Structure 1
Amino acid sequence: MKKVSKMIQEEGIWAGLNRPGIDMEEADIVVYGIPYDGGVSFRSGAKEGPAAIRNITYTIPPTTERWEDLSSLKILDLGDMEGASRDEIFLQAEVAAYSIAKSGKLLTMIGGDHSTTIPVLKGIDRALEKPFGIIHIDAHFDLCHEMGGDLLSHGSTGRRALELENVPDTESIFFVGVRSVESEELAFIQNHDMNMIKALEVRRNGVEKTLETIQSKMARFEQIYITVDIDSLDPAYAPGTGTPQFGGLDSRELLDLLYGLFELPVIGFDVVEVSPKLDDSALSVFAARKILTECWGHHQRKNKNIRGKYVAE
């Protein structure tokens, strides 16, 4: 992996859990960033997300909100995928995702705009021999064929995913929290069988019922990837993002959803669209950090069989 990324040497990041230089086989979780936001259709700044998130992980304790100890976790941060062009950056990201998926370690990617999920899914697709499911938590569908002539825009992530060999049909993706739709996307979803739960439905039905629906639909997959756009949260909780939409999930709903979703066979996840320059309070950066570390706790809990089914608390 040294050939495809700038290595992160700081042992202090990620609550002191980073183990720079260890072999991937020794790691529990492998992380990398894609500081790219050239795929946006509106406000930029998400390329600054990976560095901003890492920078607030030096002083946090290696624990979760449920008081679980993460100190035994070994994190391998591969650094950021960098290059002179998008093609070069995305190729590195795809190669990294392929290697991590092959290793069986939990893949964690930090974007960047949502287009950065495209090469990650391509790498996973090449690595796997069976179909896999995708849970897309977002204010938007990202199902446009292209935006402004760009097939790799942040509004085309879901559409490119549906073209992958191991994503067999439109019901392989479950969209959660969506509350904005382009005219092209509306026509697409009206003509295809889709799995989706609007943000307003999460609020009306509750997290527990929402999880039951998602889990029943995605149970057919032995491997699942979760992509979290920070704009799935209402702007009150994460204002620092390029295309915020009112009426989103609150922080408790999102954290509880992720807790339950990790009962599924999750092989990787990402957090994207965090734009620090659009949020003087840094709320969005802190939200992303919380999502990352809590998901690592869910992964550890599942591997240790500490707890079973999600129960509302």
Structure 2
Amino acid sequence: MKSVKDMINEKSIWAGLNQPGIKMAEADIVVFGVPFDGGVSFRSGAKDAPRAIREITYTIPPTTEHWEDLSELRILDLGDIGGESRDVQFHKVEETVYESVKAGKLFTMIGGDHSTTIPVLRGVDKALDKPFGIIHIDAHFDLCHEMGGDLLSHGSVERRALELKNVLDTESIFFVGIRSVESEELTFINSNKMNIVKAKEVRNCGVAETVKKIKETMSRFERIYVTIDIDSLDPAYAPGTGTPQFGGLNSRELLDLLYGLFELPIIGFDVVEVSPSLDQSSVAVFAARKILAECWGHYLRKNKQMNGSYEAKTLR
């Protein structure tokens, strides 16, 4: 009997939609992993997520939960971006994102801890000549100036974002699902205008109202990046993560939230902080796989609607 590893090859991953060897210009979606978790302040393991997620994508059909066919999508998986040091690795990530944005491709990054989003945002910033928005879906703000002396920690992502030329101010970022705050962050938040919908508010107000609020605020941007920390989900739905926080979004809320947000001009997104070694039943790994496939479906649907070729389907 063949092992799982034997059955997996480049063409079978991502529901058989990966097309290794095609040029970036020929792809619809560019995906890559960043196996790095040296920026964590607590439990590690997120460096193994890109491999673990890929390994369960050969089994799925090229469809979404809305019964949409993804088989026409051309996915280019660039593999994992490594490096002999964090500086080298992050520079490679920045350049890959720069090329993807310049080519006009929706790109997807699979972390890694949340610090891997820092070079992604730098690549976006480098590629654009206009301000862009960020939607940060997370249990945490990640607004610490540093953690343990590390300016590139997973808790400093959006603080580094605010240093970019095309992220104009704190209102360029919309925080969703938050339910934990560091003392340093609380001082910063109270001193600045912020866009925040806490996890509790998503539950109390509903996803539709949350999406409406985000869209009203972020529609001023022509380009938006979405970063999804798996710990935005309650630990019941994603236990395999380094810093879980009780009281989070449920899986239905997150999926419906992303459905609405992809009506905005999203140019790329990531899923980070999945830690397979902390995930005995691979619940978080499967959640990440679902998020990726559904977001690609949202991208395809939007493109078809813009081209006038989309037909609404009624679920039986």
Query: What's the TM-score, normalizing by structure 1?
Result: 0.95
Matches of 2:258 and 2:164, distance apart in 1: 25
Matches of 2:106 and 2:28, distance apart in 1: 7
Secondary structure of 2:62's counterpart equals coil
> Corresponding residue for 2:222?
222
> Corresponding residue for 1:59?
59
Letter in 2 for 1:35: P
1:153 aligns with 2:153: yes
Mapping 1:153-232, distance limit 5 Å:
153-232=153-232
Structure 2: unaligned runs, 5 residues or longer: 1-7
Secondary structure of 2:228's counterpart equals strand
Mapping 1:46-125, distance limit 5 Å:
46-125=46-125
Secondary structure of 2:301's counterpart equals helix
Contact kept, 8 Å, 1:62 with 1:69, in 2: the verdict is yes
Letter in 1 for 2:64: T
Cα deviations across residues 55-95 of structure 1 (Å, max 9, x unaligned)? 00011000000000000000000011111110111011000
Contact kept, 8 Å, 1:118 with 1:152, in 2: the verdict is yes
Letter in 2 for 1:197: V
Root-mean-square deviation (CA, aligned residues, Å) is 1.1
Contact kept, 8 Å, 1:138 with 1:175, in 2: the verdict is yes
Matches of 1:34 and 1:307, distance apart in 2: 36
Query: What's the TM-score, normalizing by structure 2?
Result: 0.94
Letter in 2 for 1:105: K
Letter in 2 for 1:254: L
Secondary structure of 1:78's counterpart equals strand
Matches of 1:127 and 1:11, distance apart in 2: 30
Contact kept, 8 Å, 1:301 with 1:307, in 2: the verdict is no
Letter in 2 for 1:298: H
Secondary structure of 2:108's counterpart equals strand
Letter in 1 for 2:222: E
Cα deviations across residues 99-150 of structure 1 (Å, max 9, x unaligned)? 0010000010000000000000000100001100000000000000000000
Mapping 1:248-287, distance limit 5 Å:
248-287=248-287
Matches of 1:126 and 1:235, distance apart in 2: 35
Runs ≥4 in structure 1, deviation > 6 angstroms? none
Matches of 1:219 and 1:98, distance apart in 2: 23
Matches of 1:97 and 1:224, distance apart in 2: 14
Contact kept, 8 Å, 1:115 with 1:153, in 2: the verdict is yes
Contact kept, 8 Å, 1:32 with 1:108, in 2: the verdict is yes
Matches of 2:126 and 2:158, distance apart in 1: 17
How many angstroms does 1:9 deviate by? 6.6
Secondary structure of 2:237's counterpart equals coil
> Corresponding residue for 1:3?
none
How many angstroms does 1:226 deviate by? 0.1
Mapping 1:269-308, distance limit 5 Å:
269-305=269-305, 306=310
Contact kept, 8 Å, 1:9 with 1:20, in 2: the verdict is no
Cα deviations across residues 232-282 of structure 1 (Å, max 9, x unaligned)? 000000000000000000000000000000000000000000000001100
Letter in 1 for 2:44: S
